Amino acid sequence: MATKKIIAICQSGGEFETENDGSLSYRGGDAHAIDIDDQMKFSDFKMEVAEMFNCSFGAMSIKYFLPGNRKTLITVSNDKDLERMIKFHGDSITADVYIVMEENGAADVSNMSDSRSSRTTLSEAVPPLELPLDVVDDTTQPNIPLGAPLDIDGTNHIDAHFNLPPEVLSVRPLSVVPYEKHAKAAEQWQDTITGVGQRFSSVHEFRETLRKYAIAHQFAFKYKKNDSHRVTVKCKAEGCPWRIHASRLSATQLSICIKTMNPTHTCGGSAVTVGHQSWVAGIIKEKLKIFPDYKPKDIVNDIKQEYGIQLNYCQAWRGKEIAKEQLQGSYKDAYSQLPFLCDKIMETNPGSLATFTTKEDSSFQRLFIAFHASLSGFVQGCRPLLFLDSIPLKSKYQGILLTATAADGNDSVFPVAFAFVDAETNDNWHWFLSQLKSALSTSCPLTFVADRQKGLRESISEIFKDSYHGYCLHYLTEQLIRDLKGQFSRDVKGIMIEDLYHAAFAPRPEEFHKITEGIKSLSLEAYNWIMQSEPQNWANSLFQGARYNHMKSNFGELFYSWASDADELPIIQMVDVIRGEIMELIYFRRTDSDQWLTRLTPSMEEKLEKESLKVSALQVQPTTGSKFEVQGEFTEVVDMDGWDCSCKGWQLTGLPCCHAIAVINCIGRSPYDYCSRYFSTESYRLTYAESVKPIPDTDWAMQNDYSEAAMTVTPPTRRPPGRPTTKKVGSQEAMKRQLQCSKCKGLGHNKATCKELL
């Protein structure tokens, strides 16, 4: 396979600037060229860059733009990321790479000073403050401009714009730390106010300029008049004559002009306060683009260092929330764009299904999306096997992500459909499956691996008739632990769970019954529970469908990582992140498969090879017809016409077992002729043959008043208070240790309360 080579143009020491269209440009700094290829290790590349620019290896991050997209920077942090960067630029000779210094801010896009002092902890910077964090809830606050006026004195101007509790109002002013020498970043604002006759394009621009001027000159002010056409401000210090008044030039113009100004200060500018959080948002917004994980405590430290202003944690957090909303859009507005999003998905990706429903009050209820590339890939190349699971979201309104995934020919997860719903209910699962049924154009009976609770058992059998429902073993063991809670020690429960897994994977009924009899010897109650849990829906030896040894529904763990990266975004952005991930996954897997030279996918080739290595110890007894006897440790019967072996390995996996391979070799055929077609490289390529097409920016809908003609969608009911629940991937078999007496070894008491000693 040919090695891909490009020249990385590494740039450092410059600054990112945002253009009018939202794209980023890089100005200034130094540049050096490095030859790289897809065999280079990330650590070697990063070390070479660090030596070239004489910078710290651990304090730098490497970023680049996707071709044709200069709005989002992609971080390179491992070998796979570097390989992807090279693939993205495969048609180019060069690739622009940007070196961002995370600690000292060498590439700070906020035009802050390049220097940073060593960071201090929040406790050193400001006393801890406990405040309710729901003050940013746009369901309870009026929708006002971010640059709306804020009265520093706490008069009724605040009540006109924010419905905040008194304990929050008392901490809103931003304290300026008196320095002997002004912070370098604030010096540039000293001449932003020049005097009478100076014009501004709007009241908002005048207010923002005034705040910067006050910071640079270190004084506090308060509004005397403050509305959409005039602003009168005076120095907050008692007796100080400084004053300024600006108003519109005429009733028909929006521009503002300074009419009167007394520039004299007699207060000395000490013990001052200024600001509000929209100013903080404006300062950190550009940096937040580059460092999405910019922490409030670091915002506190950076603004103190650069501007001489002491924030508390709440102010920094609120400023970050405002900046995030300016960058990502409003949570509330995102729901109103759902009609446009659904229409555009189906317009740009014909054959896709995107639909939503609302409640009677027009509040959001659920959104279903299945791209044509996913639906076609599942029908054309995947086994008729679907995994259903749910993922709790941590977004402002919480909610649940429902997912349907499949297994491709290489046994990797393939996303088929997903939905955002307000809660995981029987009705929402029924709706999700109904949409999935209408999206899939297949008459082949499907096998589902899913929980049996939440109405799934009834909905699957009702909507997908003649389908098979394999109960998820993970949820089954969780329910067993709950139902037997407090009756057995941790060790005994562990043995029962282990035996339950052995019983589930047992290929033949006699093995299943032998294992369950062992459970019966431990506990008759546990045995009865297992036999009443419908083992025909979860035990391999009794299950009538084909699930290829996949026993758990959390096969789609890929969605967990995608959701964790996006679940704090507005719903429109969450959809776009998942769409982008699916688009990238399909592209890379299709590109990788183009290099394969084998008849089966790599993982299936490996499994077939392992079975082939066992053949040398087996002996095939000649016979007439299609049935053969194979002798080894045990004697098995292989039926070539029925693709069946008495060991059940062939039927359960779709690949010939060692006994079948021994017979195949004996009759002079190839094992590849007896492998499931879903494991072939050809089927794998069919799975990834279609692509997910780009979707226009939803801002188009707002600019063209699309939402006015569409159905109104409002945010769902406010999320309940408290920390969102977290759903962990993998086994959750951890149990509380049960109290056990050290004298009589009984459960539920200790030696101090043991009745046998009385």
Instruction: Note the pLDDT tens digit of each residue in 609-645.
Output: 999 999 999 999 877 788 999 998 889 999 999 999 9
Question: Rounded to whole angstroms, what are the CA distances from 271 to 149, 247, 305, 433, 581?
Answer: 22, 29, 18, 63, 51
Beta strand 5-12 pairing with 94-101: parallel
- Is residue 372 scored above 60 in pLDDT? yes
Asked if the domains at 5-101 and 332-472+552-581 fall in one CATH topology, the answer is no
Of residues 596 and 392, the one with the higher pLDDT is 596
- How much is the average pLDDT of 515-528? 88
- What is the pLDDT at residue 728? 46
Distance of alpha carbon 744 from alpha carbon 733, whole angstroms: 27
- What is the pLDDT at residue 173? 42
For residue 182, name the pLDDT band (cuts at 50, 70, 90): very low
Domain segments of the chain as ranges: 5-101, 187-326, 332-472+552-581, 474-537, 600-679
Question: How many other CB atoms are there within 10 angstroms of residue 412's CB atom?
Answer: 16
Which of 12-16, 134-138, 183-187, 635-639 is predicted least confidently? 134-138
- What is the pLDDT at residue 161? 34
Instruction: Note the pLDDT tens digit of each residue in 441-495.
Output: 888 899 999 988 888 999 999 999 889 999 998 888 888 888 876 667 778 888 8
- How much is the average pLDDT of 125-133? 33
**Which own/partner contact pairs does 610-615 have at CB distance under 8 Å and 24+ positions apart?**
611/655, 611/656, 611/657, 611/658, 611/661, 612/658, 612/661, 612/671, 614/658, 615/658, 615/661, 615/662, 615/665
For residue 519, name the pLDDT band (cuts at 50, 70, 90): confident
Class of domain 5-101: alpha beta
Of residues 540 and 283, the one with the higher pLDDT is 540
Starting at the earlier edge strand, list the strands of the sheet with 69-76. 30-37, 5-12, 94-101, 60-66, 69-76
Distance of alpha carbon 149 from alpha carbon 147, whole angstroms: 6
Q: Mean pLDDT for the chain?
A: 78
What is the architecture of the domain spanning 332-472+552-581?
Answer: 2-Layer Sandwich (3.30)
Beta strand 221-226 pairing with 243-248: unpaired
For residue 134, name the pLDDT band (cuts at 50, 70, 90): very low
CB-based contact 661:632 (threshold 8 Å): no
Instruction: Note the pLDDT tens digit of each residue in 699-738.
Output: 544 544 554 445 688 888 755 555 555 544 443 333 344 5
- Is residue 567 scored above 90 in pLDDT? no
Beta strand 447-450 pairing with 385-392: parallel
Q: Which residues share a beta bridge with 630?
A: 620, 636
The two three-digit tokens of residue 731, written as one number: 């086994």
Q: In the block, which residue shows the tokens 């029962």? A: 496
Percent of the chain at pLDDT exceeding 70: 78
- What is the pLDDT at residue 631? 92
CB-based contact 547:385 (threshold 8 Å): yes
Percent of the chain at pLDDT exceeding 90: 33
Which of 217-221, 389-393, 426-430 is predicted least confidently? 217-221
Distance of alpha carbon 274 from alpha carbon 177, whole angstroms: 11
- How much is the average pLDDT of 64-77? 81
Distance of alpha carbon 451 from alpha carbon 463, whole angstroms: 16
- Is residue 149 scored above 70 in pLDDT? no
